[in-house]
């Protein structure tokens, strides 16, 4: 039987599709790579399934969409490749990832964009969209050929990793981006306030003697970019919002009608700067553990609470991982010298379900911000179980606990402060276009004999 006509039935799970306000116990039927049905239990004979999985106790949701990850290819294949990064995505329940342009060389022209697209088609196991750089060489001086890049499939534009220091260039980028209708996605920080900083500025940094990165730097740049978006009519998507002040600025800009969306990462939603000093949920970490070094830095508890509030009230549209894999050598050094970044694709769901367990977020909201929320930000035709849509589906067990062991990651990046921590919620299976790209042994054992053979 060809994959095109394969009929897969996921039975008796908790079907959650925030795009359609669906949350019930029922079935999802995938036919020929598309969603055929998602709703109350089907008569199994009617489903005429070739494969049936018993999803009792599991959540069936649209595959997750990550607006922000670093796949490092081309150029930094020791950190990650499209092959390993997309496998990590599949294990994390992500069916679509958007790859950042700060590769080596950066994705600033059409041939490089096509290289990523072709490599992803050949080696990726989930859908990959590439961003393109805002400026040539990420140098912050000349715009890339944005119209051509957008026509070739660049999903958005970002110099992520480096803030765009020049207000003149940022204004031009936002204005020019109206030609192609794709958003500009800035990494907001003031380069002078950021310079030399390694963690959040505050009492923990004061205790550790590390140079702080003040929240005010992010907030000043968010304020500038919101003003420039209003001035130009360009679309702005603010990457990895991390401070209370930035949430407040975005909330007020949205109320004024500025075309802005925003994302927050699981680590900024769940962790604080105390983790740099060794705080952990369970046990104690080492102070100066470089796996906690990330940009923007892990912030204060007040910032974390503001991000959660922003997620709940819609100020923040999406949860994005900012998956930033690094090699051991990049991180096995003094804190000041270590690379910024957390490998996040494989721990995102478990981190977020901890917030659900502690009553800080609802499961429905988490799924919304991983599916239809990000789909809308970049205008992607995914993120829902609406019949007719591509069969991008995640099945996860919201109860199973597991201990994070980075040596077992599919990602090459083992840089996570969550090593050794117990997370609740494990991805059991991931389908992309109806194709099973990841499953646990437990899920494989849930396959039951098809009732009707055709």
Task: State the catalytic residues.
Answer: 322
User: What track of x and - describes contact with another protein for positions 212 through 241 (by CB under 8 A)?
Assistant: x-----------------------------
Q: Is 1 in the site for another protein (CB under 8 A)?
A: no
Q: How far is the CB of 276 from another protein (least distance, A)?
A: 8
Q: What are phi and psi of 428, to 5 degrees?
A: -95, -35
Q: Report the residue number, 57 or 287, with the smaller CB distance to another protein.
A: 287
Residue-by-residue DSSP string for 17-84: EGGGTEEEEEEEEEETTEEEEEESPPPHHHHT-SEEEE-TT-EEEEPEEEEEE---TTT-TTT--HHH
Which residue, 5 or 286, is less far from another protein as judged by CB? 286
Binding characters for another protein, 328-357, by CB under 8 A (x = yes): -x--xxxxxx--------------------
| CB of 19 or CB of 215, closer to another protein | 215
Of 226 and 270, nearer to another protein (C-beta) is: 270
Task: Give every CB contact of residue 356 below 8 A, 6+ residues apart in sequence.
Answer: 362, 363, 366, 398
Does residue 421 bind another protein (CB under 8 A)? Answer: no
The single residue among 44, 105, 278, 406 that binds another protein, judged by CB under 8 A, is 278
Residue count, binding to another protein (CB under 8 A):
30
Nearest to 221 by CA among 187, 254, 244: 187
What's the closest the beta carbon of residue 204 comes to another protein, in angstroms?
5
**CA atoms of 271 and 287, how far apart (whole Å):** 15
Among 203, 314, 379, 381, contact with another protein (rule: CB under 8 A): 203
Q: What Å distances lie between residue 184 and 154, 159, 369, CA to CA?
A: 11, 9, 20
User: Minimum distance from CB of 265 to another protein (Å)?
Assistant: 20
Q: Which is nearer to another protein, 265 or 292 (CB)?
A: 292
Cβ atoms < 10 Å from Cβ of 178? 14
Compute CA distances 151 → 67, 84, 145, 186, whole Å. 19, 27, 10, 21
Nearest approach, Cβ of residue 400 and another protein (Å): 28
- Our finding on whether 274 is near another protein (CB under 8 A) is yes
Closest separation in Å from C-beta 203 to another protein? 4
For residue 161, the Cα-to-chain-centroid distance in whole angstroms is 15
Among residues 207 and 444, whose Cβ is nearest to another protein? 207
Query: How many Å apart are CA 71 and CA 411, to the nearest integer?
Result: 9
Q: Is 283 in the site for another protein (CB under 8 A)?
A: no
78 binds another protein (CB under 8 A): no
How far apart are CB 139 and another protein at their closest, in Å? Answer: 24
- Residue 208: phi and psi, rounded to 5, are -80, -10
**Cβ atoms of residues 65 and 43 within 8 Å:** no
Name the one range near another protein by CB under 8 A: 30-38, 139-147, 153-161, 275-283. 275-283
Q: Are 98 and 92 in contact (CB under 8 A)?
A: no
The region of 24-32, 122-130, 197-205, 385-393 touching another protein under the rule CB under 8 A is 197-205
Kind and range of the H or E element at 426?
Answer: strand 422-432
Could you list the residues that contact another protein (CB under 8 A)? Answer: 201-212, 272, 274, 277-279, 286-288, 300-302, 329, 332-337
């Amino acid at each position: 039987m060809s994959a095109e006509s394969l009929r897969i039935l996921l039975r008796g799970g908790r079907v959650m599709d925030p795009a359609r306000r669906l949350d019930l116990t029922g079935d999802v039927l995938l036919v020929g790579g598309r969603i055929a049905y998602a709703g109350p239990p089907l008569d199994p004979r009617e489903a005429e399934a070739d494969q049936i999985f018993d999803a009792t106790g599991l959540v069936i949701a649209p595959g997750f969409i990550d607006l922000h990850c670093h796949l490092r290819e081309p150029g930094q294949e020791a950190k990650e490749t499209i092959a390993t990064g997309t496998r990590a995505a599949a294990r994390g329940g992500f069916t679509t990832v958007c790859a950042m342009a700060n590769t080596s060389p950066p994705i600033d022209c059409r041939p490089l964009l096509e290289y990523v697209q072709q490599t992803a088609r050949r080696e990726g196991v989930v859908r990959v969209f590439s961003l393109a750089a805002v400026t040539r060489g990420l140098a912050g001086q000349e715009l890339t050929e944005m119209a051509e890049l957008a026509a070739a499939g660049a999903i958005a534009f970002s110099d992520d990793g480096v803030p765009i220091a020049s207000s003149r260039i940022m204004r031009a980028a936002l204005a020019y981006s109206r030609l192609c209708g794709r958003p500009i996605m800035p990494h907001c920080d003031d380069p002078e306030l950021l310079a030399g900083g390694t963690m959040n500025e505050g009492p923990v940094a004061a205790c550790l003697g590390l140079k702080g990165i003040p929240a005010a730097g992010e907030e000043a740049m968010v304020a500038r970019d919101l003003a420039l978006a209003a001035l130009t009519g360009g679309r702005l998507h603010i990457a990895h919002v991390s401070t209370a002040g930035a949430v407040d600025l975005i909330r007020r800009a949205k109320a004024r009608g500025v075309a802005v969306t925003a994302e927050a990462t699981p680590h900024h939603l769940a962790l604080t700067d105390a983790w740099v000093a060794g705080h952990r949920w369970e046990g104690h970490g080492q102070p100066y553990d470089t796996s906690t070094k990330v940009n923007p830095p892990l912030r204060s508890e007040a910032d974390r609470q503001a991000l959660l509030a922003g997620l709940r009230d819609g100020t923040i549209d999406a949860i994005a991982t900012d998956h930033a894999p690094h090699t051991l050598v990049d991180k096995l050094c003094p804190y000041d010298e270590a690379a910024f970044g957390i490998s996040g694709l494989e721990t995102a769901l478990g981190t977020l379900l901890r917030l659900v367990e502690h009553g800080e977020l609802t499961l429905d909201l988490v799924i919304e911000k991983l599916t239809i929320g990000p789909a809308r930000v970049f205008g992607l035709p995914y993120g829902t179980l609406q019949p007719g849509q591509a069969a991008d589906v995640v099945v996860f067990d919201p109860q199973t606990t597991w201990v994070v062991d980075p040596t077992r990651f599919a990602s090459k990046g083992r840089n996570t402060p969550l090593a050794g921590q117990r997370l609740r919620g494990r991805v059991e299976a991931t389908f992309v276009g109806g194709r099973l790209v990841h499953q646990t042994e437990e899920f494989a054992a849930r396959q039951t004999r098809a009732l009707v053979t055709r």
